[in-house]
Amino acid sequence: MCLREYSEEEIKEMFREDGIEEGFEQGMEKGLEQGLEQGLEQGLEKGLAEATKRYVVLLLNKGKTTEEIHDLLDIPLEEVIRIANEYK
């Protein structure tokens, strides 16, 4: 069918629907990108926290003090103490 065969209202409706569909697709794409970025960021943060915890526990097992671990890993003493208390 040719565009001339549609009324002005039908043509407007088709373009409106196309715009809604295009907007929906763009919104989904943007949402997916943001979700992936946020998920990656959260995953990296969680991985770093787990690695830090493992190193603190490892160093505690090797006889290091919380102050020595704080100096070696360059992380806040309060965090080292918190991990050490969780480990006990």
Q: What is the pTM of this model?
A: 0.62
**Which one-letter amino acid corresponds to residue 4?**
R
* Average pLDDT estimate for 58-73: 96
Q: By C-alpha distance, which of 19, 13, 78, 15 is closest to 52?
A: 78
**Lowest-pLDDT range of 14-23, 66-75, 77-86:** 14-23
Read off the pLDDT of residues 9-50 as tens digits, 9 standing for 90 and up. 776 777 777 677 777 777 788 888 888 899 999 999 999 999
Q: By C-alpha distance, which of 47, 24, 25, 28 is closest to 36?
A: 28
